[in-house]
């Protein structure tokens, strides 16, 4: 079987970690059971470009149980957990093309290899797979029924492709499901980003000034968790609504220029580029720590930092120390790539359960309709979102009230006032 992974002997370790994640993924487990019985994806070829983690392995298993022929490559050169490709290849016979730390050329070669089995469905995280298909493997486009997209940055890119009229097949924006971004982006990124910073540096957050750039769903989670660890949290924003929300949530809000000389730790999570750049590095304190949790490694202007620095050395596994001409040291974590996946294990399975339930059910939904859909970006249907929330609640032992007939009537009419 075709594959390119680091080390097949890691397969048994990966199997244990995959099983550990599965214990916290009851909704996906339910989907696995129903897919195994009904085979809704029989004969469907899926190329997936996702972070290759223990949770993703469980999604791959679900798709395969549903009858799909799946291939997987990484959606980031640093996010692969090398025992997972090993177990998928050895124990599940799923071809994987992913090695943690792969260089830029290998990353794109792996995407091309994932496309080699001529998929009818693409599953993306950041839209690199879709972008490569549209630029380098155009001959595959007529055979592709549709795709799904996992993250905010990917949805932005795909909507831009649709707006320019170049998107050639329909995509479901899994990120935009409420059971995805309200939980994965906020609680998943919030906790795992702090985890990544701590594993990389082992700093004590209490008392430090922690600057979060971007108060979207991810930034809210990171700010909340940094505050919980005792940090003094500062938020930078460009959107006045998000900024006022941060103020009312009790955070200090200022520009990056004002935050630069104050911050001990900086974390970008905006989906934008050059959020921390030369003029900010110039004003930072000696010892400042800079990290990113946004999708691409463009939020911190690393080339500018490298050009300013007198020396650069790796002082811990995920810490590069850049020394500026005046002797100040700036510490860049995880080469500016998503720190929660580079230095930690990404989101906990408990939250990926909902994200990947959306992925699996969105693929089934697409297959039923793809031929009649326009070439644009579609939301996850509300009934899927609500079904996932209900299943998750049930798995957590929480029950909710039901509307009475009188309440239903009251909520749907205008005559009744005080």
* Contacts to ligand NAD by CB under 6 A: 151-153, 181, 185, 189, 213-219, 236-239, 242, 269-272, 275, 293-295, 338, 340
φ, ψ for residue 179 (rounded to 5)? -75, 0
Closest distance to ligand NAD from the beta carbon of 304 (Å): 15
Per-position DSSP letters for 333-383, written without gaps between them:
EGGGS-HHHHTS--S-HHHHHHHHHHHHHHHHHHHHHGGGS-SSEEEPPHH
Closest distance to ligand NAD from the beta carbon of 403 (Å): 31
CB neighbour class for 409 (10 Å; exposed up to 12, middle 13-18, buried from 19): exposed
Nearer to ligand NAD among residue 119 and residue 271 (C-beta)? 271
Nearer to ligand NAD among residue 97 and residue 187 (C-beta)? 187
Closest distance to ligand NAD from the beta carbon of 89 (Å): 25
Closest distance to ligand NAD from the beta carbon of 348 (Å): 11
Nearer to ligand NAD among residue 219 and residue 336 (C-beta)? 219
- Which positions ≥6 away from 130 have C-beta within 8 Å? 122, 124, 147, 149, 154, 157, 158, 161, 167, 171
- Return the exposure string of 83-97: e unless at least 16 CB atoms fall within 10 Å of the residue's CB, then b: bbbbbbbbebebbbb
Nearer to ligand NAD among residue 237 and residue 385 (C-beta)? 237
Strand order in 319-323's β-sheet? 252-253, 232-236, 209-213, 265-268, 288-292, 329-333, 319-323, 311-316
Nearer to ligand NAD among residue 22 and residue 269 (C-beta)? 269
Nearer to ligand NAD among residue 83 and residue 149 (C-beta)? 149
Bridge partners (DSSP) listed for residue 331: 289, 321
Closest distance to ligand NAD from the beta carbon of 138 (Å): 26
Distance CA 250, CA 227 (A): 10
Closest residue to ligand NAD, judged by C-beta, is 216
Nearer to ligand NAD among residue 36 and residue 238 (C-beta)? 238
Closest distance to ligand NAD from the beta carbon of 347 (Å): 6
Closest distance to ligand NAD from the beta carbon of 33 (Å): 28
Closest distance to ligand NAD from the beta carbon of 215 (Å): 5
Q: How many CB atoms lie within 10 A of CB 286?
A: 11
Per-position DSSP letters for 102-164, written without gaps between them:
--HHHHHHHHHHHHTT--SEEEESSSHHHHHHHHT-GGGGGG--EEEE-SHHHHHHHHHHHHT
φ, ψ for residue 281 (rounded to 5)? -55, -40
Nearer to ligand NAD among residue 120 and residue 270 (C-beta)? 270
């Amino acid at each position: 079987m075709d594959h390119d992974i680091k080390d097949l002997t890691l397969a048994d370790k990966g199997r244990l970690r995959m099983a550990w994640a599965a214990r916290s993924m009851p909704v996906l487990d339910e989907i696995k059971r129903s897919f195994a019985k009904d085979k809704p994806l029989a004969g469907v070829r899926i190329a997936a470009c996702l972070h290759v983690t223990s949770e993703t392995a469980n999604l791959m298993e679900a798709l395969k149980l549903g009858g799909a022929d799946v291939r997987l490559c990484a959606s980031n050169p640093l996010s692969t957990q090398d025992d997972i490709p090993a177990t998928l290849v050895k124990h599940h016979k799923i071809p994987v093309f992913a090695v943690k730390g792969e260089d830029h050329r290998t990353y794109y070669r792996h995407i091309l290899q994932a496309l080699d089995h001529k998929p009818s469905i693409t599953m993306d995280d950041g839209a690199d797979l879709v972008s490569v298909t549209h630029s380098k493997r155009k001959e595959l486009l007529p055979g592709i029924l549709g795709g799904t997209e996992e993250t905010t940055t990917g949805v932005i890119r795909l909507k831009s492709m649709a707006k320019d009229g170049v998107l050639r097949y329909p995509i479901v924006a899994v990120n935009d499901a409420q059971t995805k971004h309200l939980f994965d982006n906020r609680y998943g990124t919030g906790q795992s980003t702090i985890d990544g910073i701590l594993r990389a540096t082992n700093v004590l957050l209490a008392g430090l000034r922690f600057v979060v750039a971007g108060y979207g769903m991810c930034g809210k989670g990171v700010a909340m968790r940094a505050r919980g660890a005792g940090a003094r949290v500062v938020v930078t924003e460009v959107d006045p609504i998000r900024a006022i929300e941060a103020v009312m949530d009790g955070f200090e809000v200022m520009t990056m220029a004002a935050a630069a000389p104050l911050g001990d730790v900086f974390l970008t999570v905006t989906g934008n580029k050059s959020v921390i750049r030369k003029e900010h590095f110039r004003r930072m304190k000696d010892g400042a720590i800079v990290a990113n949790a946004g999708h691409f490694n463009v939020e911190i202007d690393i080339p500018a930092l490298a050009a300013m620095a007198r020396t650069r050395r790796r002082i811990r596994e995920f810490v590069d120390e850049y020394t500026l001409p005046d002797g100040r040291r700036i510490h860049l974590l995880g080469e500016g790539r998503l720190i929660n996946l580079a230095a930690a294990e990404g989101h906990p399975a408990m939250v990926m359960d909902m994200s990947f339930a959306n992925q699996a059910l969105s693929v089934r939904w697409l297959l039923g309709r793809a031929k009649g859909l326009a070439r644009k970006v579609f939301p996850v249907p509300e009934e899927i979102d609500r079904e996932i929330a209900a299943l998750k609640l049930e798995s957590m032992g929480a029950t909710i009230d039901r509307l009475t007939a009188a309440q239903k009537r009251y909520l749907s009419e205008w005559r009744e006032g005080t």
